[in-house]
């Protein structure tokens, strides 16, 4: 048997030699619109630092800088069995996590349930009923009990509620606004904990809500559990966000609690709302359209430029504009499928960027299959360049938030735990973000990056369980700051 060396992947360097001048002119204009140079990155970051500070002040700002009442990191010796519920933009996930006596270890079983689109704009009660139903199915399946009321004790649950919420207590949270395509009436401005607990009680489920958390805070805690150099948790997915550990003495808006100034408290930034005032963000006309046509115009300005929910729509809007107004892209063809809002997602761009062939044959097949369009080679070259520009801009702007936290906290070296579909799956996102960090923070060439963004641990599952464990540990120690219902915790 002949032992062949590993097969090389097809390489694609790309060529614009056969692209007509009108398309080349459009590509140059798109490069002008979507490129973000070093000077702009630094300008955005400096403003970001000021806005983070403003969010911690009594007056507040566009970035909420929400208190989480997670008062410190796990030490790795937390033990017990916990449930975690993860309500994100696409799926509902239920987990059972066992924290054994071995430091930094965990065991997990989990099930996923589709979040039906009709629930995202439906009735509040229907949402909580559906979540409770999924939880009941999970417990009945994994615990093999016929009567849930006969279980020995209530299982502590960490609920990952990945939407902006104000928390006066770790086991409660008032929804500030829906994001990620949700728009359920009657929930904004209300505490979601009793709404959820009522659905649990209705089914007599043996579950006790111990902590309501955000997925980004969970990412921070879970990542630090296995790597104590992790100081920032980030999400780059359907939305974008970051969390980090602040000192209570640096948070003026909680001064009235009279907490020890050096006591740590995790801050859930919710910085998708950065620069809603549009002071520094380099928006294009297409970003303006996305904002104006969104359910919440004027909100989440930063998120709408970098999050996975919007990358495909940006791409689609540009192509429609080029067809209608500029260079007759896909001239003479029916682009009705392309005209459907949000018909393309980030995976469409990802597929284009991953096409390894010189003639972009896979991209051509994608356009034929999904959009019934027969794209010429020059048109495919433009589409490829546009996907690169949109993906690169998202990665580079994403780095500004990380750099701003590092500057604010004077962090010179750390690991950043990142999660989310864009970070994990979008080609070159990590490398492009790392390059932007180098440019913003002026690191010398040729040396290892002192701040490194790495794949996070499971924040919404393991992180939620750890935060539930930390909350119970605090109750046992008598540190009750930010905990409302201690009954039944220990």
Report phi then psi at 396, rounded to 5. -70, -45
pLDDT exceeds cutoff 80 at 103: yes
pLDDT reading at 458 higher than 90: no
- b/e per residue 115-136 (b: at least 16 CB within 10 A): beeebeebeeeebbbbbbebbb
| Half-sphere exposure for 12 (CA within 13 Å, toward CB) | 17
CA atoms within 13 A on the CB side of 382: 27
- CA–CA gap between residue 397 and residue 402 (Å, rounded): 10
pLDDT of residue 145: 61
The verdict on whether 283 is a catalytic residue reads no
Q: Flag the least confident range among 137-146, 250-259, 365-374.
A: 137-146
Q: What is the mean pLDDT of residues 395-422?
A: 96
> Which one of the listed residues 215, 275, 291, 345 is annotated catalytic?
215
Mean pLDDT, range 3-12, rounded to an integer? 44
CA 127/CA 182 separation, integer angstroms: 11
Q: What is the pLDDT of residue 8?
A: 43
Report the residue count for the chain. 490
Predicted pLDDT of residue 19: 82
Q: Which of 162, 223, 350, 421 is catalytic?
A: 162
Please give the backbone phi and psi of residue 108, each rounded to the nearest 5 degrees, phi first. Answer: -140, 140
Task: Please report the pLDDT score of residue 488 as a whole number.
Answer: 64
Using one digit for the tens of pLDDT, what is the confidence trace for 227-284? 999 999 999 988 899 999 999 999 999 999 999 999 999 999 999 999 999 999 999 9
- Is 228 annotated as catalytic? no
Q: What is the pLDDT of residues 149-168, one digit of tens each?
A: 555 578 999 999 878 888 99
Q: What Cα–Cα distance (Å) separates residue 207 from each residue in 94, 172, 210, 211, 273? A: 12, 15, 9, 12, 34
Active site residue 162: yes
Q: Is the pLDDT confidence value at 375 over 90?
A: yes
* Pairing state between β 264-268 and 240-247: antiparallel
Q: How far apart are CA 239 and CA 237, in angstroms?
A: 5
| From 97-101, 185-189, 266-270, 480-484, the region with the lowest mean pLDDT | 480-484
Average of per-residue pLDDT across 64-70: 94
The band of 3, judged by pLDDT with boundaries at 50, 70 and 90, is: very low
Bridging pattern class, strands 155-161 and 165-166:
unpaired
Q: How far is CA 203 from CA 133, 155, 199, in A?
A: 8, 15, 7
pLDDT of residue 165: 85
- CA atoms of 198 and 203, how far apart (whole Å): 9
Burial class (CB in 10 A: 0-12, 13-18, 19+), 443: middle
The pTM of the full predicted model, rounded to 2 decimals, is 0.88
Residue 4 has pLDDT above 50, yes or no: no
Q: Provide the pLDDT for residue 21.
A: 87
Q: Which of 177, 316, 396, 474 is catalytic?
A: 177
Interatomic CA distance for residues 120 and 112, integer angstroms: 17
Are 385 and 322 in contact by the 8 Å Cβ rule? The answer is: no
- Partnered with residue 94 across adjacent β-strands are 85, 111
Q: What pLDDT was estimated at residue 173?
A: 93
- Decide if pLDDT at 58 tops 80: yes
Phi, psi of 176 (to 5 degrees): -80, -50
Across residues 123-143, what is the average pLDDT? 92
Please give the DSSP secondary-structure letter assigned to residue 191.
Answer: B
C-alpha span between 358 and 228 (Å, rounded): 44
CA distance 411 to 404: 10
What DSSP designation does 323 have? I
HSE value, Cβ hemisphere, 13 Å, CA-based, for 70: 32
Helix (H, G, I), strand (E, B) or coil at 432: helix
């Amino acid at each position: 048997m002949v032992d062949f060396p590993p097969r090389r992947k097809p390489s694609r360097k790309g060529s614009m030699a056969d692209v007509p001048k009108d398309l080349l002119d459009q590509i140059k204009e798109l490069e002008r619109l979507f490129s973000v140079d070093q000077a702009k990155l630094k300008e955005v970051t400096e403003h970001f630092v000021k806005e983070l500070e403003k969010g911690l002040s009594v007056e507040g700002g566009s970035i909420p800088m929400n208190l989480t009442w997670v008062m410190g990191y796990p030490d790795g010796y937390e033990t017990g069995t916990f449930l975690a519920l993860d309500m994100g933009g696409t799926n509902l996930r239920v987990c059972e996590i066992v924290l054994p006596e071995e430091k930094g270890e965990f065991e997990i079983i989990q099930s996923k349930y589709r979040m039906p689109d009709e629930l995202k704009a439906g009735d509040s009660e229907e949402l909580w009923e559906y979540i409770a139903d999924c939880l009941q199915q999970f417990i009945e399946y994994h615990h093999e009990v016929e009567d849930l009321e006969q279980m020995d004790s209530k299982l502590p649950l960490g609920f990952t509620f990945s939407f902006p919420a104000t928390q006066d207590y770790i086991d409660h949270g008032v929804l500030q606004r829906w994001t990620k395509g949700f728009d359920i009436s009657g929930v904004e401005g209300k505490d979601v904990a009793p709404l959820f607990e009522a659905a649990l009680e209705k089914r007599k489920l043996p579950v006790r809500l111990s902590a309501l958390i955000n997925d980004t805070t969970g990412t921070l805690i879970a990542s630090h559990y296995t790597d104590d150099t992790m100081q920032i948790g980030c999400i780059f997915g359907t939305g974008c966000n970051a969390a980090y550990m602040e000192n209570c003495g640096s948070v003026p808006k909680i001064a009235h609690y009279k907490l020890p100034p050096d006591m740590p408290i995790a801050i859930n930034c919710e910085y998708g709302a950065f620069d809603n005032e549009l002071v520094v963000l380099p928006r294009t006309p297409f970003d303006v359209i996305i904002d104006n046509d969104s359910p919440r115009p004027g909100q989440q300005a930063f998120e709408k430029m970098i999050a996975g929910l919007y990358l495909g729509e940006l791409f689609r809007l540009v192509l429609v504009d080029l067809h209608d107004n500029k260079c007759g892209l896909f001239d003479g063809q029916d682009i009705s499928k392309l005209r459907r809002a949000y018909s393309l997602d980030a995976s469409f761009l990802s597929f284009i960027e991953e096409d390894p062939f010189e003639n972009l044959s896979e991209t051509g097949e994608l356009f034929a299959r999904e959009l019934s369009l027969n794209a010429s080679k020059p048109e495919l070259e433009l589409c490829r360049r546009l996907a690169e520009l949109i993906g690169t801009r998202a990665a580079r702007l994403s780095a500004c938030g990380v750099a701003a936290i590092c500057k604010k906290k004077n962090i010179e070296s750390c690991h950043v735990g990142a999660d989310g579909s864009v970070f994990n799956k979008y080609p070159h996102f990590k490398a492009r973000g790392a390059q932007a960090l180098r440019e913003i923070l002026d690191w010398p060439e040729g040396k290892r990056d002192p701040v490194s963004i790495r794949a996070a641990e499971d924040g919404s599952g393991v992180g939620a369980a750890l935060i539930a464990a930390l909350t119970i540990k605090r109750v046992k120690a008598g540190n009750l700051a930010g905990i409302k219902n201690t009954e039944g915790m220990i």
